[in-house]
């Protein structure tokens, strides 16, 4: 649904997006993760015809972003990081206006008002920040575009509104929208994206599923086992896993959880030690992010 080939943006002499390549498959939520100033918004603006591509090519839904702008615009909905509806109009008036622009049946306006649970008769300027975001998203999907660009859709939202927004994004994806999602929030990228890239200073520095990215950077697992009684023999027999006892908890380090379990259980059984709980933690997407953007 989206192809970028050597996509590049210069602002005068400043290289903001540096010959990036990626593709987004139909039905995916594609995460575009990067720190402030990485080039996320610039990429969205290039792909959605809001700023000129300096070098390279991009295709949306099979249409060239350079040469088939009208078809590209029909194929996409864009939610930018700033809300862009008319403050003096009510939500319904804004949506009716958009419906006319896109030649969409007015019935659809009622549909999205219901789906997004919007206060239809409130002026846009009077809405809370969270509802402004929801209304902007509603306007972007009015014409049921196959591709949605969401630039930082959860930034500035409180926990409840952020959860509601994430739920909406998943819902829209299930309805068939392919979603290009920029964020610097790693937890959200990890939770929502089927695949993601990490962009830093205009360059893609990592690419894969959240799981692939994590396993690429998983170093050593930390495994915490709480037992009924810490026996010295256990610490000795499992010394390859660098055990450290803290009260009734033993902290081990291992490269593979399975290898650890295979070694641990026979020893625990031998000394009749009862396991009360076991936790393991490896790299999270935040570790990956910091590693590739440092
Ligand atoms: N209109 C512009 N003119 C000149 N430089 C710009 C312009 N817009 C963005 N830049 C620069 O290009 C780089 C990328 O900016 P961009 O807004 O794409 O980053 P971003 O990843 O969206 O960051 P953020 O997370 O802060 O939204 C930054 O260094 C920024 O200062
Ligand atoms: Mg941005």
Instruction: For residue 272, give the CATH number of its domain.
Output: 3.30.70.980
Residue 13 lies in a domain: yes
In a shared domain, residues 121 and 266: no
Q: Are 85 and 124 in contact (CB under 8 A)?
A: yes
- 287 vs 242, higher pLDDT: 242
The closest residue, in CA terms, to atom 26 on ligand 1 is 36
Provide the pLDDT confidence category of residue 217 given band limits of 50, 70 and 90: low
- The reply to whether ligand 1 has any atom less than 6 angstroms from the CB of 17 is no
Q: Which atom of ligand 1 is nearest to the CA of 17?
A: 14
Copy the structure tokens of residue 150: 């969401």
In a shared domain, residues 71 and 127: yes
pLDDT tens digits along 235-247: 999 999 989 999 9
In a shared domain, residues 94 and 158: yes
Last residue of a domain, which of 208, 235, 265? Answer: 208
In a shared domain, residues 116 and 244: no
In a shared domain, residues 39 and 123: yes
For the chain, the domain total comes to 2
pLDDT-above-90 percentage for the chain: 78
* pTM metric for this prediction: 0.81
Q: Choose which residue among 37, 155, 200 to substitute to test ligand 1 binding: the one with the highest number of ligand atoms within 8 A of its C-beta.
A: 37
What do you get for the CA distance between the two ends of the chain, in Å? 31
pLDDT tens digits along 67-93: 999 999 999 999 987 777 999 999 999
Residue 213 lies in a domain: no
Q: Which parts of the chain are beta strand (E)? A: 2-11, 14-24, 29-33, 55-60, 63-64, 76-79, 147-151, 178-183, 195-200, 203-208, 221-227, 244-246, 249-254, 275-281
- 126 vs 216, higher pLDDT: 126
Taking the centre of ligand 1 as the mean of its atom positions, its distance from the CA of residue 129, in whole angstroms, is: 23
Domain that holds residue 247: 219-283
In a shared domain, residues 185 and 268: no
In a shared domain, residues 129 and 241: no
Q: Are 168 and 96 in contact (CB under 8 A)?
A: no
């Amino acid at each position: 649904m989206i192809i970028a080939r050597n996509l590049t943006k210069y602002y005068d002499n400043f290289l903001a997006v540096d010959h990036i390549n990626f593709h987004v498959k139909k039905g995916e939520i594609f995460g575009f993760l990067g720190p402030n100033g990485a080039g996320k918004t610039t990429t969205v603006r290039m792909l959605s015809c809001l700023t000129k591509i300096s070098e390279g090519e991009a295709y949306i839904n099979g249409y060239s972003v350079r040469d088939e702008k009208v078809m590209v615009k029909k194929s996409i909905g864009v939610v930018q990081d700033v809300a862009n509806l008319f403050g003096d109009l009510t939500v319904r008036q804004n949506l009716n206006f958009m419906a006319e622009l896109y030649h969409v049946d007015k019935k659809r306006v009622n549909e999205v008002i219901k789906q997004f649970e919007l206060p239809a008769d409130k002026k846009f300027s009077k809405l809370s920040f969270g509802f402004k975001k929801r209304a902007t998203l509603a306007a972007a999907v009015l014409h049921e575009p196959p591709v949605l660009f969401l630039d930082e859709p959860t930034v500035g939202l409180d926990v409840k509104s952020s959860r509601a927004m994430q739920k909406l994004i998943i819902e829209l994806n299930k309805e068939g929208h392919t979603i290009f999602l920029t964020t610097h929030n790693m937890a959200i990228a990890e939770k929502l994206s089927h695949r993601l890239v990490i962009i830093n200073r205009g360059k893609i520095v990592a690419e894969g599923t959240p799981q692939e990215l994590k396993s690429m950077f998983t170093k050593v697992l930390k495994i915490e086992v709480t037992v009924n009684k810490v026996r010295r023999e256990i610490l000795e027999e499992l010394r390859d896993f660098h055990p450290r006892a803290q009260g009734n908890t033993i902290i081990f380090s291992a490269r593979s959880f399975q290898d650890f379990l295979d070694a641990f259980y026979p020893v625990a059984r031998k000394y009749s030690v009862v396991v009360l709980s076991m936790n393991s933690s490896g790299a999270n997407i935040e570790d990956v992010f910091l590693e590739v953007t440092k």
